[in-house]
Homo-oligomer: A and B are copies of this chain.
Amino acid sequence: MYAAVESEVWLVNGEKIKVAIVGSTGYGGVELIRFLWGHPRVEITSVISASSAGSLLTEGFPHLSEIVVQTLDGVDPAEIAAKADVVFTATPSGVSGKLVPELLEAGLKVIDLSGDFRIKDGSVYETWYKHTAPENGLLEKAVYGLSEIYDKKVEGAGLISNPGCYSTATLLGLIPVLDAGWIDPASIIIDAKSGVSGAGRGTSLMTHYAEINENLKAYKVNKHQHIPEIEQTLSWVAGKPVTVTFTTHLVPMTRGIMCTTYASLLGTYTEGDLIELYRGFYKGRPFVRVREKGIWPATKEVFGSNYCDIGFAADSRTGRLTIISVIDNIVKGAAGQAIQNLNLMMGWDETTGLKLSPVYP
């Protein structure tokens, strides 16, 4: 499906590429390890953690016993470059911005899972993230890795900025209908809900079990840092500035994002029309699945997998479209899409190492 690219020349006869993972003790990091362990063209040569260097990965993650028995390395770009060809940086925003330039300089290809290289306008980044933006050249160089949309740019890229979890679910759900000109770009409202793992492994009262179990919370209403990322991409697609209303909620479950997106239809489109539009748009892209009429996806139906499932309701009473899109926030919203981008970058089939069924129930 993808032409062989320059990266491919590294590999001879089934040789594997060597990858390193910075941030191996976060949820994004261990999920990269889960998938890469079974990836037929990859060898994990270094698992890296600034905070736990020197200890065994399995001390914190006994579920990996007998699977990945490696000692955690510290963060040293030269050492990483000596061990690996490609590095995943599953590091917090603010950290990636400083580390990635050093990794690139050391000759590595980088797939960054933080938000630091997603926003092309450094000042917008600084407004929403409260960190200093990476220098402009790098922001331009970084390819925004929304795999189903920007796959051609990802091929052969040296720095991929992996999209945010909310952004992925929202954008895959909205882009086809916005691109088709069927909705009013000024009318978009996104009501997003996430499982708690999206907040990461750092402890806080917000993610304390007794505070979030049997509870539903809104947070960062209209303030979430994925807003500028979503607006930037929607604006690219619409060809003009798009502003959205965006609410995030924390749901008492570990994994899963659902975005319920509302927009005014500019014509009389049925659910059948929409299904046809989306199936056409995503033809040949196995990780996007469009539900039948009257069926909406649930988060558990993508649990543990790289799928994004989408369903619709077109309401003739109000002229509004409701789009429901779901992903597993740690997979398609982070580690899975990062590996999908690795596959695209390397010119491999995009499903390589990612063909795992959702775990149900």
Instruction: Determine whether the beta carbon of B357 is less than 8 Å from that of A64.
Output: yes
Q: Which residues of B contact A361 (CB under 8 A)?
A: 27, 197, 210-211, 213, 254-255
A289 within 8 A of B: yes
CB contact between A249 and one of B66, B260, B300 (< 8 Å): that residue: B260
Q: Measured between C-beta atoms, what is the minimum distance from A327 to chain B in Å?
A: 12
Given contacts A209-B208, A215-B253, A221-B296, contact A260 B289 (CB under 8 A): no
CB contact between A196 and one of B37, B203, B209, B254 (< 8 Å): that residue: B209
A14 to B204 Cα, complex, angstroms: 44
* Bitwise interface map of A from 183 to 211 toward B, beta carbon under 8 Å scored 1, else 0: 00000010101011100010111011111
A215 to B207 Cα, complex, angstroms: 16
A138 within 8 A of B: no
A78 within 8 A of B: no
Q: Which residues of B contact A252 (CB under 8 A)?
A: 209, 213, 251-253
Q: Measured between C-beta atoms, what is the minimum distance from A250 to chain B in Å?
A: 9
- Please tell me which stretch of A116-124, A301-309, A336-344 contacts chain B, meaning at least 4 of its Cβ atoms lie within 8 angstroms of it: A301-309
List the B residue with the shortest CB-CB distance to A318.
Answer: B245
Given contacts A38-B356, A201-B208, A313-B222, contact A215 B296 (CB under 8 A): no
A247 within 8 A of B: yes
CB contact between A218 and one of B253, B260, B289 (< 8 Å): that residue: B260
The A284-304 residues at the B interface (CB cut-off 8 A) are: 286, 289, 291, 295-304
A322 within 8 A of B: yes
Q: Which residues of B contact A324 (CB under 8 A)?
A: 218, 221
Across the A-B interface, the 6 shortest Cβ-Cβ residue pairs: A215-B300, A191-B191, A63-B301, A221-B313, A210-B361, A203-B203
